[in-house]
């Protein structure tokens, strides 16, 4: 089978190279914004959006109008237009949202689809030169593309590789159902419990304090920029701690279980604005906002994404099941009633008297639903 993976390293760029990296990212941002502006004008005039090839033709004109664009390698600029073309198609065909204009200093990045070279702990970026990076592990496979990005004031590279490996056979034979939660990150049907990391909650007070300090600074002053960098660093730490925890948890589960069954949770719908609308304002806004933050702090979607590809690499399978009534159904007699859920942590069936931890009972129901779908062959749309 063909697998693709990414290697993420921090660049050790000097001052001149950092300036070049910023110029490349800025020019790609300019091309994105000009391309998006042109597409919006065409849509406002009831015209069809430009294709990627037509946008590349426009790029030639932009290079004549803006001379410094000619100093940037053409591939990152063309890749930016390719990304915009895909974002336009996604925005017009589904609910992923229409692409937005990019702001300076936010998610600065650019990509080389080809032309880069690797030499131990150095990488050659066309029109920038050889740049050293912190090589923490060996890179295996054929390099397909390289993405350069900036996060919390530091530059990173993501090297995507492709390799062909023998069709994997999972070493384990066990199946497990997983109930995701807020109080406990995950409860497995075999009784294993993973505590919530809550990286955002732990640094919430520090982040709020830093943001109050920022509000007292003169906007765009040197002190304001310095404080802004501190906030970005805190956000980066929150994301890194969460991502590290999710990778360790998903790797452990993927190694130990050939079949993993999860609820098909719609996180975007679950975390909609707590305020509601003018016609239908929400109640208990503060409580709902807190719940939304807690759900997003867990990283359920990212956890599901990691499990999916790790199971594929290991030769296992992941199935998504309908989450309806999994917390109200008795795993012993299958009786479903809201009264079965005695509290956040306790489950007691009003029909047969079965007593269990509420999350563990839900995990057992998830496992049973997944096995039933597998036995009936009804996993075409549920297999992840």
Which of 327, 302, 321 is CA-nearest to residue 384? 321
Compute CA distances 9 → 6, 107, 112, 121, whole Å.
10, 17, 16, 10
Query: Secondary structure of 254-295 in the HEC alphabet?
Result: HHHCCEEEEECCCHHHHCCCCCECCCCECCCHHHHHHHHHHH
Cα–Cα distance between 238 and 217 in angstroms, integer? 24
Which positions ≥6 away from 96 have C-beta within 8 Å? 90
| Catalytic-role residue among 55, 85, 179, 297 | 179
| Catalytic-role residue among 263, 279, 302, 339 | 263
Compute CA distances 243 → 109, 163, 230, whole Å.
20, 24, 20
The total number of residues shown for the chain amounts to 384
Is 339 one of the annotated active-site residues of the chain? no
DSSP state letters, 29-71? HHHHHHHHHHHHHHHHTTPPPPPHHHHHHHHHHHHHHSGGGGG
Cβ proximity of 100 and 29 under 8 Å: no
Which of helix, strand or coil describes residue 347?
strand
For 226, other C-beta atoms within 10 Å of its C-beta total 11
Cα–Cα distance between 70 and 78 in angstroms, integer? 12
Is 263 one of the annotated active-site residues of the chain? yes
Cα–Cα distance between 170 and 174 in angstroms, integer? 10
Is 108 one of the annotated active-site residues of the chain? no
Write phi, then psi, for 26 (nearest 5 degrees).
Answer: -65, -40
DSSP state letters, 96-125? T-------TTSS-EEEESS--EEETTEEEE
Residues with catalytic function: 179, 263, 359
């Amino acid at each position: 089978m063909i697998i693709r993976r990414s290697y993420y390293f921090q660049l050790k760029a000097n001052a001149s190279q950092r300036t070049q990296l910023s110029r490349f990212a800025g020019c790609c941002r300019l091309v994105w914004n000009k391309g998006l502006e042109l597409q919006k004008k065409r849509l406002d005039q009831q015209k069809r959006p430009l294709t990627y090839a037509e946008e590349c033709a426009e790029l030639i004109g932009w290079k004549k109008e803006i001379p410094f664009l000619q100093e940037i390698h053409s591939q990152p600029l063309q890749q930016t237009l390719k990304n915009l073309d895909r974002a336009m198609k996604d925005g017009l065909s589904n609910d992923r949202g229409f692409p937005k204009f990019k702001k300076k200093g936010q998610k600065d990045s650019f990509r080389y689809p080809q032309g880069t070279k690797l030499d131990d702990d150095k990488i050659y970026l066309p029109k920038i030169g050889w740049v050293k990076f912190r090589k923490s592990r060996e890179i295996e496979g054929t390099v397909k593309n390289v993405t350069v990005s900036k996060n919390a004031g530091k530059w990173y590279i993501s090297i995507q590789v492709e390799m062909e490996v023998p069709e994997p056979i999972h070493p384990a034979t066990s199946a497990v159902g997983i109930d995701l939660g807020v109080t406990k990150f995950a409860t497995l049907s075999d009784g294993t419990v993973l505590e919530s990391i809550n990286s955002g909650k732990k640094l919430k007070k520090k982040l709020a304090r830093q943001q109050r300090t920022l509000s007292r600074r003169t906007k765009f002053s040197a002190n304001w920029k310095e404080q802004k960098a501190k906030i970005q660093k805190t956000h980066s730490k929150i994301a890194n701690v969460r991502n590290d925890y999710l990778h360790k948890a998903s790797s452990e589960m993927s190694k130990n279980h050939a079949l993993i069954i999860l609820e098909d949770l719609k996180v975007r719908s679950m975390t909609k604005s707590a305020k509601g609308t003018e016609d239908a304002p929400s109640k208990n806004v503060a409580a709902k906002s807190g719940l939304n933050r807690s759900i997003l702090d867990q990283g359920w979607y990212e956890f599901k994404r990691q499990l999916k590809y790790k199971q594929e690499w290991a030769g296992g399978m992941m199935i998504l099941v309908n989450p309806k009534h999994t917390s109200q159904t008795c795993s012993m007699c299958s009786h479903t009633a809201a009264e079965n859920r005695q509290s956040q942590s306790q489950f007691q069936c009003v029909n047969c008297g079965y007593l269990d931890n509420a999350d563990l009972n839900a995990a057992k129901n998830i496992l049973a639903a997944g096995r039933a779908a597998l036995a009936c062959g009804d996993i075409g749309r549920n297999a992840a």
